[in-house]
Amino acid sequence: MAFRLRSPAPLPPRSLARAVAPAFFANAAALFLLALPLLFLALFYVYPLVSILRLGLAPQGRLDLAPLAALAGDAHAQRVVGFTLWQAVLSTLLTLAVGLPGAYLVARYDFRGKGLLRALAGVPFVMPTLVVAAAFNALIGPRGWINLGLMALFRTDTPPLNLMNTLGAILLAHIFYNTTIVLRLVGDFWAHLDPRLAGAARVLGADGRRAFTHVTLPLLAPAILAAALLVFIFDFTSFGVILVLGGPRFATLEVEIYRQTISLFNLPTAAALSLTQLACTLAFTLLYARLSARVTAPLPLRPQAFTQQPLNTWRARLAAGVIVGGLLALLVAPLAALALRSFTRLEAARGERTAVQTGFTLAFYQELFVNRRESIFYAPPFAAVGNSVGVAAATTFLSLALSLPTALALTRSGSARLNRSSQIPFREWLDSVLMLPLGTSAVTLGLGFLVAFSRPPLAWRASPLLLPLAHTLVAFPFVVRSLSPALRGIRPQLRRAAASLGASPLRAFQEVDLPLIGRAVMVGGAFAFAISLGEFGATALVARPDFPTIPIAIYTFLSQPGALNYGQALALSTILMAVCAGGILAIESLRVGEVGEF
């Protein structure tokens, strides 16, 4: 479907000269705002990345691009790139299809339990892949509930649904992980969209569908694009889902990079693959920047109280029921199954495997507090939770501190005037470059951290701050992306009005921008928190065993046989779910400001 906002008329040529001088100062201010974020990226992204790529592509000090050339002619590599793109496009479209109705619901209606629903939808985001695989297997595996039910229904011995290790399982898992991105980014933007705009179209004779496709959808486009880009990059660099749920027949670029790096220790090929992945990411983000600049316009944002209504018609209630039911079935049911299992004991008398006795037990939770093997690496559960929450809180703080100035610098002059000609291409590039850490191979960057930070002058390998910094690398582009649509939507007249009343730029930011984007700040903060809690391959970046987080402890349990290990892994996973949902609820209860409260 083609949607396009009426583009503003180009400025007459003579006003162009007038625009040059302010543009210069706007750039100086932007550079000032960007100084810290750029320093952060240079130190913790560019420097490690260049360090490791240099080992692969210039082992003797001279750049040798032969591995790239070899890759370009390699049929297998082309297939891998093709599949990586194909599954990412499919996954993104499906995630949007699932997430948009949910976004509509949370944006336009006010109902009890909405906050909880939003928090629960964010839980999948932090779950380790191995745990998610176990959850999916319990639900749709050959002996999962659904197959058992179908087998009983059709009186057959073979499971009718064979989804594990297919493209279907990959897509389902990507939807499971990423729907929350659509729900939050689009939902929160939508919640502040003035419903009277679509109402006006209806008054002018448009039917509901037409009002939606011609008014609401174009206005939502920036948020939808931002969400789609983030979902796409996550799917494009997917690793665990592909390996564990897709099985060995599927390989993305990230899987291939892992294989070349760890199994074969072929750094030149790994470097060439990493560069390919980076180039693709850059291409998507540039495309995004183009599209996004086209569809974005300042909007009159409205407080939620103004845009939302209770579910007071039976049709609205029915629709809400269907949407909430669908989201719960897709996002919460697999996790609920795991949580349930962590309280269940299975007892099968010998030879009677068909008659497994089940019963309630707290044994796995109690066992978490016992250092049965007197191991030096034993992590008490509260310590693991403390470590995880501490790192996540630090990541949230760091990401917000870096993202606010970045998002301001990137959006301000874009919205300061409406003409595109004053938008400096440099800014568009920068916007895209800032997204790159998200699309960079964690395996590659992990070795880069090792090479870069284990010797002077930057021998920071042992610093406890390195873990939150590594997490911030992933969270930062995310938070910038969740802030940008809201900042772009602020009418520049408001800031000018503040300035004309004598407010300093900082004061104007405090009094105008912050209240208007308060909601987006909290959304970004919640994302940063969740990203850190779920680790996202950052453990590959920095391993600190004396400092175990919950996901590390879960993996440790899952790496050994035995019912107690499995049970404790599930118990800790359940604790991780609770910490995540609790953390998101807590962050979102801190309101920085609500539109229209002044």
Handedness of CA 460, 465, 468, 474 (dihedral sign): negative
Among 65, 287, 543, 578, binds another protein (CB under 8 A): 543
Residue with tokens 């001279």: 62
CB of 464 to another protein, least distance (A): 4
Strands 309-310 and 109-110: parallel
CB of 254 to another protein, least distance (A): 12
Nearer to another protein (CB atom), residue 92 or residue 129: 129
Nearer to another protein (CB atom), residue 276 or residue 388: 388
Which alpha helices (H) appear in 42-113, and where do they start and end?
47-57, 66-72, 75-108
CB of 222 to another protein, least distance (A): 26
Nearer to another protein (CB atom), residue 341 or residue 412: 341
Q: For the segment 159-178, give every residue that binds another protein (CB under 8 A).
A: 165
Nearer to another protein (CB atom), residue 223 or residue 391: 391
CB of 347 to another protein, least distance (A): 9
Nearer to another protein (CB atom), residue 19 or residue 451: 451
Q: How many CA atoms lie within 13 A of 282 on its CB side?
A: 9
Q: For the segment 226-245, give every residue that binds another protein (CB under 8 A).
A: 243-244
Whole-angstrom distance, CA of residue 450 vs CA of residue 456: 12
Among 268, 334, 468, 485, binds another protein (CB under 8 A): 468
Residue with tokens 């509901």: 208
Among 355, 502, 562, 589, binds another protein (CB under 8 A): 562
DSSP state at residue 171: H
CB of 362 to another protein, least distance (A): 11
Fill in the per-residue mask, 399 to 428: x = in contact with another protein (CB under 8 A), - = not in contact.
Answer: -xx---------------------------
Burial zone of 529 (CB within 10 Å; 0-12 exposed, 13-18 middle, 19+ buried): buried
- Interaction between residue 455 and another protein (CB under 8 A): yes
CB of 277 to another protein, least distance (A): 18
CB of 583 to another protein, least distance (A): 12
Whole-angstrom distance, CA of residue 468 vs CA of residue 388: 10
Whole-angstrom distance, CA of residue 274 vs CA of residue 48: 13
The piece of 100-108, 226-234, 314-322, 394-402 that touches another protein (CB under 8 A) is: 394-402
Among 345, 423, 429, 503, binds another protein (CB under 8 A): 345
Fill in the per-residue mask, 347 to 386: x = in contact with another protein (CB under 8 A), - = not in contact.
Answer: -x-xxxxx-x----x-xx--x-----xxxxxx-------x
Chain centre to alpha carbon of residue 404: 18
Cβ neighbour number for residue 260 with a 10 Å cutoff: 23
- Interaction between residue 566 and another protein (CB under 8 A): yes
Give the three-class secondary structure for 207: coil
Q: For the segment 55-94, give every residue that binds another protein (CB under 8 A).
A: 55
Query: What are phi and psi for residue 58, nearest 5 degrees?
Result: -140, 60
Q: For the segment 140-159, give every residue that binds another protein (CB under 8 A).
A: 141-143
CB of 540 to another protein, least distance (A): 7
Whole-angstrom distance, CA of residue 329 vs CA of residue 277: 34
- Interaction between residue 300 and another protein (CB under 8 A): no
- Interaction between residue 34 and another protein (CB under 8 A): no
CB of 323 to another protein, least distance (A): 31
Nearer to another protein (CB atom), residue 9 or residue 506: 506
The piece of 117-125, 206-214, 216-224, 454-462 that touches another protein (CB under 8 A) is: 454-462
Q: For the segment 251-280, give every residue that binds another protein (CB under 8 A).
A: 258-259, 261-265
Cβ neighbour number for residue 84 with a 10 Å cutoff: 25
Nearer to another protein (CB atom), residue 142 or residue 218: 142
- Interaction between residue 304 and another protein (CB under 8 A): no
Which alpha helices (H) appear in 162-216, and where do they start and end?
167-191, 195-203, 208-211
The piece of 64-72, 192-200, 540-548, 573-581 that touches another protein (CB under 8 A) is: 540-548
Burial string for 22-47 (b: 16+ CB within 10 Å, else e) reads: ebeebeeebeebbeebbebbeebbbb
User: Do 104 and 561 touch, CB atoms closer than 8 A?
Assistant: no
Nearer to another protein (CB atom), residue 317 or residue 345: 345
Whole-angstrom distance, CA of residue 27 vs CA of residue 98: 40
Nearer to another protein (CB atom), residue 52 or residue 105: 52
Q: For the segment 567-586, give every residue that binds another protein (CB under 8 A).
A: 567
The piece of 82-90, 278-286, 457-465, 474-482 that touches another protein (CB under 8 A) is: 457-465
- Interaction between residue 460 and another protein (CB under 8 A): no
- Interaction between residue 558 and another protein (CB under 8 A): yes
Whole-angstrom distance, CA of residue 388 vs CA of residue 576: 9
Among 540, 553, 571, 580, binds another protein (CB under 8 A): 540
Among 105, 117, 120, 133, binds another protein (CB under 8 A): 133
Q: Which of 551, 518, 528, 402 is nearest to 122 (CA)?
A: 528
Q: Which of 588, 512, 594 is nearest to 192 (CA)?
A: 594
The DSSP line for 262-325 is: IIS--HHHHHHHHHHHHHHHHHHHHHHHHHHHHH-----B--HHHH-EE--SHHHHHHHHHHHH
